Amino acid sequence: MSATTYDIIITGAGPAGSTCALALKKSGLRVALVDKEKFPRDKICGDAVSSIAKRILRQIDPQLEIDLLDFAPKTNITKAKLYSPAFESIEIAFSKVGHCIRRMDFDHWLFEKACTAHPKLSLYLQQAVKQVIQENGTNKVLLQNGQLLQAPLLIACDGAHSVAAKKLGNMTVNRKHYSGAVRQYYRNIKGLEGNALEVYFLKGFLPGYFWIFPLSNGEANIGFGMLSETIAKQKIDLKQSLKDIINNIPQVAERFEHAEALDEIKGFGLPLGSKKYAISGNGFMLCGDAASLIDPFSGEGIETAMESGKFAAEQAMRCFKEQKFSAKYMKAYDERVYKKMWPNFRNHYILQRFLGKRIWLINSLISIGNIPFINKRIPKLFY
């Protein structure tokens, strides 16, 4: 079977893949961008986009940050409100403004920016990756429609179920380092603040948290997530748990009395960055969820996906300049990713395991946090 040849194949056009393509726009390299969906498409997520995303875009091109600030369907997030099992709360102000943007909108915006910016970008949409083979220093990618692509460098940005991550990176699901979550969209939630993330640690639903994140048009992204190890051991039904939270916990149910669900509850998995992996090898790199780069405590993954995509693009340009694609040369990518992300991942994983189901401890920490001196020193866990 004859193959279409490129310099780089990027599988997955979400935040990691599109950011990678954007960062390659002046490289002169021929790039194939593959995605199993057609944009715009939904991606199940909490929809929180921190200020870090704007910094990454600004580093690629200052105009991108300006364009995002002009992007209409978003909210400006200036604080987070954390609630203890005793329903005592703490309010944390953010030093930089973030946003909540539906992934349907944000991913499409970023994808279109990549498409218009890169002059040598070829798109393969609605084409799932069926197989990845490495032969004689070449990556061959077989698509759903039978097309075969080949390139000396493959950058896998296609999520938690990435074919390349499984085949080349030997990535598997480890429930100690994986979370499950559910999400649903609502409107007319009582007392919704348009500029605040709300996070609830609830008795009977630990370890895990319930969230309400405000979107544009008075709508909200609500959800519930928990460590997969706990879900499996206790046979927890996350969808039923979300229903129980909004219907049976009085302080929450009162706010949902006249609220309207806009869709069905949908579930998703989160490969956490609480364990180091080999995220590159001969002629390939893994980014975002494919590399298990989600914050172990907050579940944030958009910014880490974007940053890893940018790092991969910069490593790719060095590879072509030096004509080096070996695992040894590619190791610089792993080192750069983990130098930037691992300190937070490690600390947040320790905090996740330490808090666990300790209701008294969570109550105490949030109560103590209301002392201004300590409040200022609470780490940025959710933004």
216: tokens are: 């544009």
Confidence tier at 379 by pLDDT (50, 70, 90): very low
Domains of the chain by residue range = 4-76+97-172+274-352, 175-271+354-375
Q: How many CA atoms lie within 13 A of 220 on its CB side?
A: 27
Report the chain's terminal Cα–Cα distance, integer Å.
Answer: 48
Vertex 164 angle, CA 30 and 307, to 5°: 65
Fold classified for 4-76+97-172+274-352: FAD/NAD(P)-binding domain (3.50.50)
Q: Provide the pLDDT for residue 351.
A: 83
Enter the pTM of the model. 0.94
Backbone angles phi, psi at 288, to 5 degrees: 60, -140
**pLDDT tens by residue, 167-221:** 999 999 999 999 999 999 999 999 999 999 999 999 999 889 999 999 999 999 9
**pLDDT tens by residue, 325-357:** 999 999 999 999 999 999 999 998 888 887 776
378 vs 31, higher pLDDT: 31
Amino acid, res. 383: Y
* 66 Rama class: left (phi>0) / alpha (psi -120 to 50) / beta: alpha
Q: Provide the pLDDT for residue 181.
A: 97
Q: Is 141 helix (H, G, I), strand (E, B) or coil?
A: strand
Amino acid, res. 338: Y
- For residue 116, the surrounding DSSP H or E stretch is helix 103-117
Q: How far apart are CA 303 and CA 308, in angstroms?
A: 8
CATH number, domain 175-271+354-375:
3.30.9.10
What number of other Cβ atoms are within 10 A of residue 34's Cβ? 25
Q: How far apart are CA 59 and CA 54, in angstroms?
A: 9
**pLDDT tens by residue, 106-127:** 999 999 999 999 899 999 999 9
Q: How far apart are CA 341 and CA 323, in angstroms?
A: 28
Among 156-165, 326-335, 359-368, the least confident range: 359-368
Q: How far apart are CA 169 and CA 174, in angstroms?
A: 14
User: Looking at the predicted structure, is the pLDDT value of residue 373 above 50?
Assistant: no
